[in-house]
Amino acid sequence: MALKTRFTELLGIEHPIMMGGMMWVGRAPLAAAVSNAGGLGVITALTQPNPEALRLEIERVRSLTSKPFGVNITLLPVVEAPPYAEFCRVIIESGVTIVETAGHKPQEYVDLLKKHGIKVVHKCTSVRHALSAERMGVDAISIDGFECAGHPGEDDVPGLVLIPAAADKVKIPMIASGGFGDGRGLVAALALGADGINMGTRFCATREAEIHDNIKQVYLQNDERGTHIIFRKLHNTARVAKTGVSDKVVEILNDPASTFADVASLVRGAKGREALENGDVEAGLVWAGQIQGLIHDIPSCAELIGRIMSEAEQIITSKLPSLVA
């Protein structure tokens, strides 16, 4: 069964399932596998050391799929920002047609990408940010509930309320993100007013994700309680897998006198990369969402997406109609 929604129509994809940008995980083989399975695969620009390496990675996706795919640009609030304009130039020159933006102050880049006819899906975590992105001229919204891996924002509103609250106000196509991993979630997202789903953690636990098997085992073994919320007092809240390192970060930051400097050596991005690539779970932070509680295997992306779609079909065509008296 195919589900036709405003999101699939906008982007020319078969299934309303997107892979979110993922630092150190969003590489060509995984993105291509998602796209080949009918979803929207996404490579993550900042995973590449420089814009020229991104150009090669885009070519690599093209060598693996002829289906639509996207590039994520995460705009970080840092003093020494990556060369975003250069990354955008490579995206434009390479003929990429879809970009996922996330993070701070996207207007300049949204304008640039839109000028070149690129479809922009902006990921955010609140209704007010979704509306502001809509005013900026993005084509679609991906809205992350509190359940999500990565940065859920500072409002702590779970998807069950956030998605319909956003659907009531956002006019452009909108997908639901955070806590999705099966057909039940997809149908629920559609019922709540979304046009599809975005998944991060679930795609990390697939065969094509180029991360160490030890990390995939963390996603399998952790249940829905297996995450920590960290950095709340730094106003940069993040959801990560519960591990020895994240336990330590929580413990240190629980001390009212502590500052970022006290955890800086534990939370460095390079250490997270080491954990993902070498499988040393205690090397650094591993981003993960509450959906871990519903991850019980490591399928291929084709198996996963096929399963989500057939489960959704069964619910829509059989289970729900049978309830109507």
Ligand X SMILES: Cc1cc2nc3c(=O)[nH]c(=O)nc-3n(C[C@H](O)[C@H](O)[C@H](O)COP(=O)(O)O)c2cc1C
Binding site for ligand X (CB under 6 A): 20-23, 25, 44, 72, 74, 102, 123, 144, 147-150, 177-180, 198-202, 204, 287-289, 291
What is the DSSP annotation of 144-205? E-TT-SB---SS---HHHHHHHHHTT--S-EEEESS--SHHHHHHHHHTT-S-EEESHHHHT
Is 191 within 8 Å of 185 (Cβ atoms)? no
Please, which residue, 68 or 317, has the CB nearer to ligand X? 68
What 3-state class would DSSP assign to 97? Answer: coil
Beta carbon of residue 73, minimum distance to ligand X (angstroms, whole number): 8
Please, which residue, 70 or 179, has the CB nearer to ligand X? 179
Please, which residue, 149 or 309, has the CB nearer to ligand X? 149
Please, which residue, 140 or 149, has the CB nearer to ligand X? 149
Beta carbon of residue 42, minimum distance to ligand X (angstroms, whole number): 8
Q: What whole-number distance in Å separates Cα of residue 100 and Cα of residue 30?
A: 16
Beta carbon of residue 101, minimum distance to ligand X (angstroms, whole number): 8
Please, which residue, 36 or 72, has the CB nearer to ligand X? 72
Is 20 within 8 Å of 204 (Cβ atoms)? no
In this structure, what DSSP letter does residue 243 have?
Answer: -
What 3-state class would DSSP assign to 121? Answer: strand
Please, which residue, 18 or 90, has the CB nearer to ligand X? 18
Is 90 within 8 Å of 59 (Cβ atoms)? no
Beta carbon of residue 317, minimum distance to ligand X (angstroms, whole number): 26
- Beta strand pairing call for 98-103 and 69-75: parallel
What is the DSSP annotation of 248-306? HHHHHHTSTT--GGGTHHHH-HHHHHHHHHH--TTSS--B--GGGGG------HHHHHH
Please, which residue, 204 or 218, has the CB nearer to ligand X? 204
Beta carbon of residue 310, minimum distance to ligand X (angstroms, whole number): 20
The residue of the chain with the least Cβ separation from ligand X equals 200
How would you class 317 by CB atoms within 10 Å of its CB: exposed for 0-12, middle for 13-18, buried for 19 or more?
Answer: exposed
Beta carbon of residue 289, minimum distance to ligand X (angstroms, whole number): 3
Beta carbon of residue 301, minimum distance to ligand X (angstroms, whole number): 14
Please, which residue, 235 or 318, has the CB nearer to ligand X? 235
What 3-state class would DSSP assign to 230? Answer: strand
Beta carbon of residue 219, minimum distance to ligand X (angstroms, whole number): 9
Per the structure block, which two tokens stand in for 284? 């650094």
Going by C-alpha positions, the residue among 323, 282, 295, 301 that lies closest to residue 220 is 295
Please, which residue, 199 or 245, has the CB nearer to ligand X? 199
Beta carbon of residue 75, minimum distance to ligand X (angstroms, whole number): 9
Amino acid at 107: Q
